[in-house]
């Protein structure tokens, strides 16, 4: 990864203020290449980046937006055209400098950090929408970050590996339905918006991509904790071809409950609501015991 010397960094700052940066003096700012370590694949289709920016629902009521991994600013460009308070989180220092150079309006609104380690209050007070062409190597972790911070994230619009996108929004009785489907849909309504061909990126990824939108379910009280639900769902899908009467043995003492018809199903057959009911029953049974 490229690193400048202290002297060159000072020259850069001075040059920036006086607009003397040239392609000759700082060529790396003009010919930035994607880095595998950050999972970077830059979108090159303007129509797609604009479509993603326009995918935020209820624009009139949204005032704060956080973009994850803006890279060269393909999506940022269209978000800046809207009446949002926009903040970007970019882990790659080189990209941060590139963004400041090409999008002066972002001055003071880029946080150079690992998004997964950020607390919401470091970004905004109150609610904000999360959006971005997410690095595929941490995309599922971003979803779980959103779930953990759901009180302040009413919407999420993201580019994912197509397979991951379809898993997140999958319905019961499908091969894609699994842990991340249930846990996400317990709190958000998921919609797959459109597919994106790998030829639309530079460099092109090895997989196809898709954009999804998550919209928070308001006043969603499950009657169990997220930790309890996650434990039940993860154990159920740890052996997805086995019936619940087998996988739930480690959580339920005795055979009486496990002999009920409900437990003759496989995890992929249960709806999100079924998993919530199952979790509450197991928690109640364990408390009695």
Long-range contacts of 45-49 (CB under 8 A, 24+ apart): 45/196, 45/200, 46/74, 48/196, 48/200, 49/74, 49/75, 49/77, 49/78
Convert the pLDDT of each residue in 32-52 to its tens digit.
565 555 456 778 899 999 999
Element (H, E) at 87: strand 85-89
What one-character DSSP code corresponds to residue 264? G
Beta pairing partners, 189 = 215
Buried-state track 97-113, b at ≥16 Cβ within 10 A, e below 16: bbbbeebeebeebbbee
Convert the pLDDT of each residue in 154-209 to its tens digit.
999 999 999 999 999 999 999 999 999 999 999 999 999 999 999 999 888 889 99
116-122-127-131 Cα dihedral, nearest 10 degrees: -40
- pTM summary value: 0.85
Ordered structural domains, the chain, with CATH: 32-216 (3.40.50.150), 226-288 (1.10.8.100)
CB 162 within 8 A of CB 126: no
Convert the pLDDT of each residue in 198-235 to its tens digit.
999 988 888 999 999 999 999 888 999 999 999 999 99
């Amino acid at each position: 990864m490229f690193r400048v010397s202290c002297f060159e960094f000072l020259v850069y700052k001075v040059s920036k203020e006086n607009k003397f940066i040239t392609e000759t003096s700082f060529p790396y700012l003009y010919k930035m290449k994607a880095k595998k370590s950050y999972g970077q694949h830059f979108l090159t289709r303007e129509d797609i980046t604009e479509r993603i920016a326009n995918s935020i629902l209820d624009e009139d009521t949204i005032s704060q937006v956080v973009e994850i991994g803006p890279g060269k600013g393909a999506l940022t460009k269209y978000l800046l055209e809207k009446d949002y308070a926009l903040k970007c989180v970019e882990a790659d220092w080189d990209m941060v400098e590139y963004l400041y150079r090409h999008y002066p309006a972002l001055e003071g609104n880029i946080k150079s950090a690992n998004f997964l380690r950020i607390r919401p209050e470091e970004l905004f007070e109150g609610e904000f929408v999360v959006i971005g062409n997410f690095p595929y190597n941490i995309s599922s972790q971003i979803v779980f970050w959103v779930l953990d911070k759901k009180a302040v994230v009413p919407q999420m619009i993201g580019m994912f590996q197509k397979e991951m996108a379809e898993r997140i929004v999958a319905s019961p009785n499908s091969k894609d339905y699994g842990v991340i489907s249930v846990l996400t849909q317990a709190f958000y309504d998921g919609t797959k918006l459109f597919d994106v061909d790998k030829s639309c990126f530079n460099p092109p990824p090895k997989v196809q991509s898709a954009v999804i939108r998550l919209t928070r379910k308001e006043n969603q009280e499950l009657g169990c904790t997220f930790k309890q639900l996650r434990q039940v769902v993860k154990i159920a899908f740890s052996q997805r071809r086995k019936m619940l009467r087998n996988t739930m043995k480690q959580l339920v003492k005795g055979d009486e409950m496990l002999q009920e018809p409900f437990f003759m199903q496989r995890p992929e057959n249960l709806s999100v609501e079924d998993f919530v009911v199952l979790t509450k029953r197991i928690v109640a049974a364990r408390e009695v015991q």
